[in-house]
Structure 1
């Protein structure tokens, strides 16, 4: 017999939000790294402020992605 794995598949909404969350995470991570390591990016800021701002953007990306991964107890998986 063929087993049906519909119970374990993600809904299209959940799958789309996963792709969107990963894209936002990667985009913010790259943006934070550009701020920190690229000298021609945000030239008007001094180096310590650029490093702090880049770290804040990276921390925001991690927190946002971690919040997405936390499962909502009210959400019904289909």
Structure 2
């Protein structure tokens, strides 16, 4: 998870972009922070999905094979 300071800065830059626009330096900072945020979000989502098991109403495991492979490969490392 990104620090509170970085999240606050993302919001400040987003609000400024809507109101008055960003300088070139601020735009680069915003892009860098957004990339870092997305990378963190994707990593957290993947970790969450690796803990998911899908079961149908009959009690059968219907977890997609791709997700099972991710779990299997994660245990090997």
TM-score range, shorter chain: 0.3 to 0.5
Higher relative contact order (CA 8 A, sep 6+): 1
Greater fraction of residues in helix: 2
TM-score by length of 2: 0.40
TM-score by length of 1: 0.40
